[in-house]
Structure 1
Amino acid sequence: MDSLKNIKVAVDSQKGVALVRFDRPAKRNAFSQAMIGEMVSVLHHLDALDTVRAVVLTGGPDGPFCAGMDLNELVQITTSSAHKRAFLKDLTDAFAGFSKPVIAAVIGFALGGGCEIALACDIIYAAEDATFGLPEIKIGTIPGAGGTQRLARALGKHKAMEFVLTGDSASGAEFERLGVVNKAFPRDQVISAATSLAERIALMSGPVVQVAKKAVLTVENSHLDAGMATEKMLYYSTFGLSDFKEGQTAFLQKRKPNFTHE
């Protein structure tokens, strides 16, 4: 863990809690391939660490949580290369296979892949003024790390469809009202509240907590694996579209995209 460049990990062995913080401020904590590799390694390491029984995941006290994928890298990926390397599968698999509770502490924005990472956590605490959204549609693609699947399960088809098809965002307070966020707080209370919850959970029997998490996830995972596999295939398919290239280029050039619908 000493070689991490984009993620910081602090383990309190006495309390059984690990605090994992995204640390790529120059890129608003956007995920590069290197950062994905680090996140996967961190999850594998913490899952095997007996002294950790609960995890808090955050972007830090000032935010942001995560801006999603680094578009400078994403724009270079083709449909064929995405299939060949199973793009994002290592990250989604690492979250899906993590046996201990993960509490997202969201301050600032959690957009695109950042929102998907929050949704992949077991519990979400957020600042009242945090911003959640899946804006991929605006740059010529779709969510590809479970966003369409988990948001639909949290909100129901109709409300999730509106968010996915418009790319609109919602505040932490609104997502609390809609049932996506467990609790919303003033931003200076989010991390301490999430840490307190993690410490409470860590007092329980570690093996029993893991079994309880697995039991609850059985409801979601009954169809989630198939849904996410389909989502990824559809996501990869957008990489070959002219509108995908236009969407990424327009975003990087800070202009509105001119989609040609092809």
Structure 2
Amino acid sequence: MGMIKSEIKDQIATLTLNSPPANALSSKLIEAVAEKLDELEKDNTAKVIIIKGEGKFFSAGADIKEFTELDHAEAYQALAEKGQKLLKRMEYFSIPIIAVIHGAALGGGLELAMACHIRIVTEDAKLGLPELNLGIIPGFAGTQRLPQYVGVAKAYEMILTGTFISGKEAVQLGLANKAVSEDKLEEETMKLATKVAEKSMSSIHKVMELIPFAKTSQFEQGSLAEAKAFGEVFGTEDAKEGVQAFLEKRKPNFQDK
């Protein structure tokens, strides 16, 4: 079955992240998502894609253990660029992607959700970019996408404090389209996906080509700068301490070095 379960029914494709316990966005999971997108593009029968998480979470972050295995700025920068490449591909994909978020979408998990075209959340889901709690920064274009949804001031607040917002708040801020109770999540998702799947494929593809023009060229530069900064931050003592503290489930002791 692998890290992603996939099925297509009535021109609706469902991809389920299946990498327990947290569906953390590791290099392997990034590759698995990319492979599934290749398959769906080739198959050309799906008019809409649903992406959701198995278990307790949509995706509770990037794979922190993987971070500890890398040893120089270039390796971290390459990891960030690999994640960014997949998310850019999703954002510019010819088939609309709906992220269905329950439990939590944090760090890399929220960055993945933000690259989707529509987000449906449970009312009490937790969303956030908590990287600064670990002495690191977002690396999958989180610093570039979050302000586009919630505005600059709220993005500063969320990223600098590392705190979470609820699914309900995410809708109020424009980060999610709709918040529903957990028991209604599947039904509401299918309702929305079915409405999209009823449209003609060529008109869907045209819309998917056109809306991304609304993005500024600054986005590209900002994302490259973020990947470079991600690599640089990992060279600091505070990053080592923050990641170690996270793995040991204790509060980090930052020295500002």
Which runs of 5 or more structure 2 residues have no equivalent in the other structure? none
Partner of residue 71 from structure 1, selected from 34, 49, 64: 64
**Which residue of structure 1 aligns with residue 32 of structure 2?**
38
Give the TM-score taking structure 2 as reference length.
Answer: 0.94
Letter paired with 1:68:
G
- For the pair 1:57 / 2:51, whether they are aligned, the reply is yes
Q: Does 1:246 align with 2:234?
A: no
> Could you tell me how far apart the structure 2 residues matched to 1:34 and 1:240 are?
24
SS in 2 for 1:57: strand
Separation of aligned partners in 1, 2:130 and 2:74: 23
What SS class does the counterpart of residue 240 from structure 1 fall into? coil
Shift of 1:70: 1.2
Q: Separation in 2 of the partners of 1:63 and 1:47?
A: 29
Paired residue for 1:16?
Answer: 11
Structure-2 separation of matches of 1:114 and 1:58: 11
Contact 1:108/1:129 (<8 A) preserved: yes
- Whole-angstrom CA distance in 1 between matches of 2:240 and 2:137: 13
Amino acid at match of 2:32: E
CA deviation profile, 1:198-252 (whole Å, cap 9, x unmatched): 1211111112112112212211254322221121111121111111111110000
For 2:31 and 2:215, the matched residues in 1 are separated by: 26
1:170 paired with 2:170, answer no
Corresponding residue to 1:152 among 147, 154, 178? 147
Q: Secondary structure at the match of 2:100?
A: strand
* Equivalent-residue separation in structure 1 for 2:120 and 2:77 (angstroms): 34
Per-residue CA shift, 1:72-102, capped at 9, x if unaligned? 1112223122345644244224323421100
Note the aligned Cα RMSD (angstroms).
Answer: 1.6
Equivalent of 1:200 in 186, 195, 198:
195
Deviation at 1:32, TM superposition (A): 2.1
Identify if the C-alpha distance between structure 1 residues 36 and 84 changes in structure 2 by more than 3 Å, giving closer, same or farther.
Answer: closer
The answer for the alignment partner of 1:187 in structure 2 is: 182
Gaps of 5+ in 1: none
List per-residue Cα deviations over 1:5-37 (Å, max 9, x = no partner): 11111111xx211011111123x1112221111
Identity fraction in percent? 35
Change (3 A) 1:221 1:194: farther
* Residue of structure 2 in register with 1:132 after alignment: 127
**Does the aligned pair in 2 maintain the 1:104–1:194 contact within 8 Å?**
no
Contact 2:12-2:47 at 8 Å conserved across structures: yes
Out of 41, 44, 52, the position equivalent to 1:47 is: 41
**CA–CA separation in structure 2 for the residues paired with 1:243 and 1:146:** 21
Count of matched residue pairs: 255
Match for residue 7 of structure 1 among 1, 4, 7: 4
Instruction: Flag the 1:232–1:90 CA change in 2: closer, same or farther, 3 A.
Output: same
